[in-house]
Amino acid sequence: MQRHKKGQEIPPRDVFIRAVSEGNTVTDAARAAGVNRATPYRWKEQDPEFGEAWEDARNECVDLLEGEAKRRALAGSDTLLIFLLKSYRPEVFGERVRQTIDQKTEVRTMPDVAARAAAFDWELFRAELDKQMQRAAG
């Protein structure tokens, strides 16, 4: 178990939460806390407050990453700058998709389909198909 500078032990849950907020993976945060990787998930199921703390820690980590992305974008990364602009102002910088549908869609019920199939001249269809097959065979 880790200790404060004053020599007090830090509970494994607190070590895990701190490690997540610093950007560690679940595996690495669990290792830092001295627990199995499955343990924090069990804590999360059993303790909603721990689950909220975990989510807050994760958001702190994302805030750190976002800050670093902004710093790098302003330092000259056009790609990061584009992603940030798309994220912050999607109405201006987001992808634009225009879709136009100009064909009519006919919806048929099963009785309609059955009636059309019954009225279809299958003998004429087969005869025409046979003619085309004979032409193709040559």
| Domain region containing 130 | 108-138
Q: Counting every residue, how long is the chain?
A: 138
**Residue 69 near residue 80 (C-beta atoms within 8 A):** yes
Q: Are residues 81 and 30 part of one domain?
A: yes
Q: Are residues 68 and 115 part of one domain?
A: no
Q: pLDDT tens string for the chain (138 positions)?
A: 565 556 679 999 999 999 999 999 999 999 999 999 999 999 999 999 999 999 999 999 999 999 999 999 999 988 888 888 888 888 888 887 766 776 766 666 666 666 776 777 777 778 887 888 888 887
Count of domains in the chain? 2
Q: Are residues 87 and 19 part of one domain?
A: yes
- Count Cα neighbours of 98 within 13 Å in the Cβ-side half-sphere: 1
Residue 101 belongs to a domain? no
Residue 60 belongs to a domain? yes
Q: Are residues 74 and 46 part of one domain?
A: yes
Q: Are residues 129 and 85 part of one domain?
A: no
